[in-house]
Amino acid sequence: MTDKAITSLTDINSTSPIGIFDSGIGGMTVLKEIWNTLPGESTVYFGDSGRQPYGSKSHDTIVKYSTEIMRFLESKHVKMIVIACNTASSHAYDTLCRISKVPVVEVISPGARQAAMRTRNGKIGIIATRATVSSGVYGGAVVEAANQLMTAGKMDADVLQNLEVREVACPLFASLAEEGWWNTPVTRMVAETYLQPLKDSCTDTLVLGCTHYPLLYDVISDVMGKETILIDSGSSVAERVREVLIKDHLLNEASAQPAYHFYTSDDPQMFENMAAPFLGGGRPKGTCHISTDSFREE
């Protein structure tokens, strides 16, 4: 996957905000990293809580929803779109790239590259929603990253030869994360069931391929064993955002205080309550409701 180069500069400039979206609140784990890495940037976040989960939706529905949100974010004059959702990235990235007026960044390839760089035995696991797993996009991204590393002399030939990507759908994890059940006996039991095939196949590197899963980091790490490397791609995505902004001369170097705006397709109060733990303490403020019938503020 390569990020789309900017094709037409309308009324955007380096001080314009970055547009970020997810099916709901999971993308906050990426937003938090973008704020940490790029403290001068303003952001507009859209969480499609009224239509989630995306993980059980069809390809066509995910593309339709993502396209509508991209158009909404463009109406807010964003200078970039970050698809902070693995499910939307795996199904809608190519379409958004083709039709967007601004650069588009996805969350699959940064994690895939990290995994390819860090595996020692070539056994890489991906845990994600059903829709992400069925797209097969992660497997392709890991192989592509491994081949690039090999060409650059940064991967051993025997690791590449043994490369094996195993993808496991963990649909209950997102609900457990939203429920705040990050480290309960039930969560541990569910994790043991989902992760057993990955343990059996000697997975040494595991990608958290859903933006909800970093909240379950401790349980996943305990179940897999401390020697398994867990990849939470939030910080690599933020780095990718910085690289693209620099390349397109869109990095905000002005010293003005950044502005943070939030929109949701469900109840704003509920959205803010659920989002706070995902933001790691901070709480979204002033969230506006957007009807997905009209994509107008209400």
Residues taking part in catalysis: 85, 210
Q: CA–CA distance from 126 to each of 18, 98, 140, 199, 242 (Å)?
A: 28, 27, 12, 12, 25
22 binds ligand DGL (CB under 6 A): yes
Shortest separation between residue 230's beta carbon and ligand DGL, angstroms: 15
Task: Name the minimum Å distance from CB 27 to ligand DGL.
Answer: 6
287 binds ligand DGL (CB under 6 A): no
What sign does the CA torsion over 122, 216, 195, 240 have?
negative
Query: What is the spatial distance between Cα 230 and Cα 10, in angstroms, rounded to a whole number?
Result: 40
What is the sign, positive or negative, of the torsion defined by CA atoms of 7, 11, 14, 18?
A: negative
**Could you tell me where the beta strands, DSSP code E, fall in 29-122?**
43-47, 80-83, 104-105
Stretch that binds ligand DGL, among 18-26, 149-157, 177-185, 270-278 (CB under 6 A): 18-26
Q: Pattern 173-192, binding to ligand DGL, x per CB under 6 A? A: -x------------------
By CB under 6 A, tell whether 52 contacts ligand DGL.
Answer: yes
d(CA 1, CA 3): 7
CB 247 within 8 A of CB 268: no
Residue selected from 92, 176, 210, 245 as contacting ligand DGL according to rule CB under 6 A? 210
Segment contacting ligand DGL by CB under 6 A, of 21-29, 70-78, 114-122, 160-168 = 21-29
- Interface ranges with ligand DGL (CB under 6 A): 22-24, 26, 52-55, 85-87, 129, 132, 174, 210-212
